[in-house]
Amino acid sequence: MLSFQSSKNVLSLTEDLLVRIYELLAAESDRKSFRLVCREFRRIDTLTRRHLRVIRIEFLPILLRKYPRLQSLDLSACPRIDDGVVSLLLTRVGPGSNSPILGHWAWGLKSLVLSRATGLRFSGLEMLARACPCLESVDVSYCCGFGDREAAALSSAVGLRELNMDKCLQLTDVGLAKIAVGCSKLEKLSLKWCMEMTDLGIDLLCKKCVDLKYLDVSYLKVTNESLHSIASLLKLEVLGLMACPLIDDVGLQFIERGCPSLKVIDVSRCEGVSSSGLIFVVRGHRNLLELNAGYCLSQELSTALLHQMKNLNHLEVIRIDGARISETSFQVISANCKSLVEIGLSKCLGVTNMGIMRLVSACINLRVLNLTCCHSITDAAISAIAYSCRSLVCLKVESCNMITEKGLCQLGSFCLLLEEIDLTDCCGVNDKGLEYLSRCSELSCLKLGLCTNISNKGLSYIGFNCLKIHELDLYRCTGIGDDGLEALSNGCKKLRKLNLSYCNEVSDRGLGYIGRLEELSDLEMRALHKITGVGLEAVAVGCKRLADLDMKHCEKVGDSGFWALAYYSKNLRQINLSYCGISDMALCMVMGNLSRLQEAKLVHLSNCTVEGVELALRACCVRIKKVKLFAPLRFMLSSEILEILHARGCIIRWD
């Protein structure tokens, strides 16, 4: 970042140059640093900023006033937004302005993410839809309350092109019809888990929204009738049919004849689909880019299908998880589908070194390879992959036990672009292997769960070289201790997600190092028996962005730690305190003081009384969305608090 000495020179830069510089800053943290430099830079940030993701809703009005040129607003992190908030935001521009200009900020807004905003109902959505004339993209996924009325409200946003309604459980055909008629320009629509949806709704959608390019009807109980309707969509490019139990080969026959623009199809986990259904799809669409047929090919890939696949010269992605596959199949695929970029062979039977070697010999552009649970592959296969696919970005070899440091050595030598590797449960991985792997300096996601042979030394290589790592899984890496964490905290400053569960050696000192990771948002540290309140305090003080904390079975942590948590971890959204020695008082503090807390697991709190839990629930009942409680408490807690929680839409899980 810019130092103070050079600030004079920097200030002499013209505004447009500063804007250009600003636009080159990709990471949010860098932009934050940028706008903290000086007023001028802050102004640049204000003027240029297009996207805003709000984390604390109380700042929303100020932020909206500050950034007038917003195009994209992400409110998914503040699920407590409701109709009242929206009406306030849209009417009260600022305390100073006399003439209430209706939601000035909303005029230019194009994208709105309202995922999990369960408090937002039709009146709020209606206001938003009317206030944002340029709205093109809305995400209302996981809004459990989103039903037909809300859909009707949203349908007044006539310019809508993209709409995500995943898991809007109350949405029915009527709501979809509202959307289909109102937003006829829709190009992208996702309806995953909208369980009330039927063929009628899909049929109407296909007739009204003829511009659809992307349609996801995964997990719906729609039948072949829907496929018949969908086949009439001339512009459809992406079709998601994942786990549609009522769809079978007959339906895919419609797809063969229709959807001339189809590029991507996902029929994974469709029980009714077999090889012959896929043959229809492949035969009709020679230009298919992506075929996802995981877990629907229980038998071996039929020769007829392979024969058809020869024609898929443009195929880039193929996922046939769970299928039985032979070496000849690999031969056919590699010989014909030369542009393959991603292959998913997770849990496939019959994947051998020889097969992989044949595959990668031709598919040299492979970037993503998933070999999860292909137990029979060894270093030979990995070496072949590393040697052929130099641009490999993601490799998943979970529980491939025969991989050793030799394979990792090849990876570290050739696949320097590797960003993600999953080595979970690969016992062959050791410190030496990590040393080789650490040469992949682009590595951002490293999963080493259950690799019991690695120690602090191996981790220190990672900490020293892989500075871009943001996710690290050390689940049950019992060889890891405080020193490893020290190395990690020195290097991997970008770490956002860390799993330290069952790393028994980690003590308060280790957590002290963790506290240096300012970006850390997810921390799982189950059953760390050595840590106490001191360690937790260090984490709470240091990791300001901490949003998800799982500390089940950390029995030695005392109240001082929890108090610190209550005071400092203002961004905490989920917490698991089960089997912790937290007292009534501390529990109350944690639950009451953490203003963003949405989900809490509070099972077997041995030091807590019923009254304590009751009080804690009372303290957080206005915002908590999900809580897990010890089953007998169901009859011991007052019915009043249970009713309040229920009325606030909180889901209680009894354990």
**What residue ranges bind another protein (CB under 8 A)?**
57-58, 61, 80-85, 87-88, 118-119, 121-124, 126-127, 144-149, 152-153, 155, 170, 172-174, 177-178, 181-182, 196, 200-201, 203-204, 207-208, 566, 584-585, 588-589, 592-593, 595, 611, 615, 618-619, 622-623, 646-649, 651
The Cα angle at residue 607 between residues 606 and 609, in degrees rounded to 5: 95
Q: 224 vs 593, which CB is nearer to another protein?
A: 593
Q: Least distance (Å) from another protein to the CB of residue 253?
A: 23
Q: Which H/E stretch holds residue 530?
A: none
Max distance between CA atoms of the chain, in angstroms, equals 75
499: which 2 tokens?
A: 């799993």
Q: 204 vs 255, which CB is nearer to another protein?
A: 204
Q: 90 vs 281, which CB is nearer to another protein?
A: 90
Classified as helix, coil or strand, 343 is strand
Side chain identity at residue 564, one-letter code: A
Query: By C-alpha distance, which of 612, 565, 615 is closest to 590?
Result: 565
347: which 2 tokens?
A: 């849990």
29: which 2 tokens?
A: 């943290």
Paired strand residues for 599: 574, 626
Q: 503 vs 564, which CB is nearer to another protein?
A: 564
Q: Least distance (Å) from another protein to the CB of residue 145?
A: 2
The residue behind tokens 């005029």 is: 107
Q: 32 vs 648, which CB is nearer to another protein?
A: 648
**C-alpha 238 chain-centroid distance:** 20
Q: What is the separation, in whole angstroms, between the first and last Cα of the chain?
A: 50
The residue behind tokens 């394979």 is: 407
* Distance, CA of 527 to CA of 505 (rounded, Å): 11
Q: 146 vs 436, which CB is nearer to another protein?
A: 146
* Distance, CA of 620 to CA of 117 (rounded, Å): 18
Q: Least distance (Å) from another protein to the CB of residue 218?
A: 20
**Rounded to the nearest 10 degrees, how much is the dihedral formed by the CA atoms of 13, 19, 23, 27?**
70
Q: 170 vs 302, which CB is nearer to another protein?
A: 170
Q: 27 vs 101, which CB is nearer to another protein?
A: 101
255 burial level (CB within 10 Å; 0-12, 13-18, 19+): buried
Q: Least distance (Å) from another protein to the CB of residue 607?
A: 13
* Distance, CA of 414 to CA of 391 (rounded, Å): 9
Q: Least distance (Å) from another protein to the CB of residue 152?
A: 6
Q: 356 vs 587, which CB is nearer to another protein?
A: 587
Query: By C-alpha distance, which of 242, 243, 281 is closest to 262?
Result: 281
Q: 81 vs 165, which CB is nearer to another protein?
A: 81
The Cα angle at residue 543 between residues 542 and 545, in degrees rounded to 5: 140
Please state the φ and ψ torsions of residue 16, each to the nearest 5 degrees. Answer: -65, -35
Please say whether the beta carbons of 143 and 117 come within 8 A: yes
Q: Least distance (Å) from another protein to the CB of residue 544?
A: 16
Side chain identity at residue 416, one-letter code: L
Q: Least distance (Å) from another protein to the CB of residue 377?
A: 46
Q: Least distance (Å) from another protein to the CB of residue 625?
A: 8
**What is each CA distance from 542 to 489, 539, 564, 568, 569, in whole angstroms?**
12, 5, 11, 9, 9
Classified as helix, coil or strand, 150 is helix
Q: 64 vs 415, which CB is nearer to another protein?
A: 64
Q: 207 vs 286, which CB is nearer to another protein?
A: 207
Q: 229 vs 430, which CB is nearer to another protein?
A: 229
The residue behind tokens 């001082």 is: 560
633: which 2 tokens?
A: 């408490």
**Rounded to the nearest 10 degrees, how much is the dihedral formed by the CA atoms of 529, 533, 538, 542?**
100
Q: 152 vs 341, which CB is nearer to another protein?
A: 152
610: which 2 tokens?
A: 């019923």
Q: Least distance (Å) from another protein to the CB of residue 156?
A: 9
Query: By C-alpha distance, which of 536, 599, 550 is closest to 573?
Result: 599
**What is each CA distance from 105 to 1, 121, 153, in whole angstroms?**
31, 21, 20
Q: Least distance (Å) from another protein to the CB of residue 219?
A: 17
Please state the φ and ψ torsions of residue 624, each to the nearest 5 degrees. Answer: -65, 140
